Amino acid sequence: MSSLHLLMSLCLLVMTVSSNLPPPRNVRIISENFVHVLVWENNYLNASVHYITQERSQWKPVDKCSNVTNQLCDLTEYFTDLLGNYQGSVQSFTHNAISNISYSALFNPFESTALGPPIVRVTSCNKCVNLTINLPKSPTVSSDNNPILKLFNDYSIQYTIMVVTPNEVSVDPL
C-alpha cells in the first residue's frame, strides 16, 4: 500500500512540475524616439526575456530582464543597428511550472519608432523673433556616450521673423 501511495505521489509531482503555464499574451515592442520597450500581458509574476537579430539565429538572454515581475523590458541598448531586424521573446515561470515562449513581431527600429513632438525654441532679438525646431533627442547608448541618431540631433531648422513697418528697410539679423 505504501508503494502505491509513493508511486501516486511521484506521478502527481511529475505532472505538477511538467505542467505548462499559459504563455504571455500580446507581446510587442513599443518604440518612441528610438527607445525600444518589449511589453506583454501575463497572469504570473515571473518572466524572462530574450531577443534575437535577424542576421544571427541565436537567442540572447537579457540579464536585466530575467526573473522580472513587471511586464516590460527596455531593449534600447540591445537594438543598436537602426536598420537591423529584431524580435523579442518572453517566457513565464513559477517555482514548479514553465510556459511556452511567446514572441513579438519582427521589429525594425528605423521603420517602427514613433517620433514625438519636436523641440521648439523661441528667442527674441531686435525687431525679430528666432524660431528653432529640433527633432526629439535620441537616447545615448554607446560606450562613448554618443546619441544613436547623432545625425538627427546635430541639425535643426531655424527661422527668423522680422517685424518691420511698410516704410522701413529690412536688415538681416546677424
CATH number of the domain where residue 104 is located: 2.60.40.10
77-92 average pLDDT score: 89
Task: Output 76 or 140, whichever has higher pLDDT.
Answer: 76
pLDDT value for 42:
87
pLDDT at 86 > cutoff 90: yes
Give tens-digit pLDDT for 89-127.
Answer: 999 888 888 899 999 999 999 899 998 898 899 988 887
Task: Output 150 or 35, whichever has higher pLDDT.
Answer: 35
Task: Output 159 or 33, whichever has higher pLDDT.
Answer: 33
pLDDT at 3 > cutoff 80: no
**Does residue 128 sit in the same domain as residue 103?**
no
- Looking only at the bridges linking them, the beta strands covering 156-162 and 119-125 are unpaired
Does some domain include residue 2? Answer: no
- What's the one-letter identity of residue 164? V
Tell me the pLDDT of the chain averaged across its residues: 78
Does some domain include residue 7? Answer: no
pTM of the model: 0.69
3-state secondary structure of 95: coil
Sign of the CA dihedral with 104 first, then 107, 109, and 114 last: negative
pLDDT value for 149:
57
**Does residue 34 sit in the same domain as residue 87?**
yes
Does some domain include residue 9? Answer: no
Give tens-digit pLDDT for 146-174.
Answer: 555 555 556 677 777 777 777 766 555 55
pLDDT at 57 > cutoff 80: no
18-43 average pLDDT score: 88
pLDDT value for 8:
44
**Does residue 96 sit in the same domain as residue 128?**
no
**How many distinct structural domains can be found in the chain?**
2
**Does residue 41 sit in the same domain as residue 91?**
yes
**Does residue 24 sit in the same domain as residue 103?**
yes
- Which residues lie across from 121 on neighbouring strands? 132
**Does residue 59 sit in the same domain as residue 33?**
yes
Does some domain include residue 24? Answer: yes
pLDDT at 37 > cutoff 80: yes
**Does residue 136 sit in the same domain as residue 156?**
yes
**Does residue 35 sit in the same domain as residue 59?**
yes
**Does residue 45 sit in the same domain as residue 129?**
no
HEC states along the chain?
Answer: CHHHHHHHHHHHHHHHHHCEECCCEEEEEEEECCEEEEEEECCCCEEEEEEEECCCCCCEEEEEEEEECCCEEECCCCCCCCCCCEEEEEEEECCCCEECCEECCCECHHHHCECCCCEEEEEEECCEEEEEEECCCCCECCCCCCECCHHHHHCEEEEEEECCCCCCCCCCCC
134-140 average pLDDT score: 76
**Does residue 105 sit in the same domain as residue 125?**
no
Does some domain include residue 13? Answer: no
Domain that holds residue 143: 119-162
Does some domain include residue 35? Answer: yes
pLDDT value for 152:
58
Does some domain include residue 61? Answer: yes
**Does residue 72 sit in the same domain as residue 138?**
no
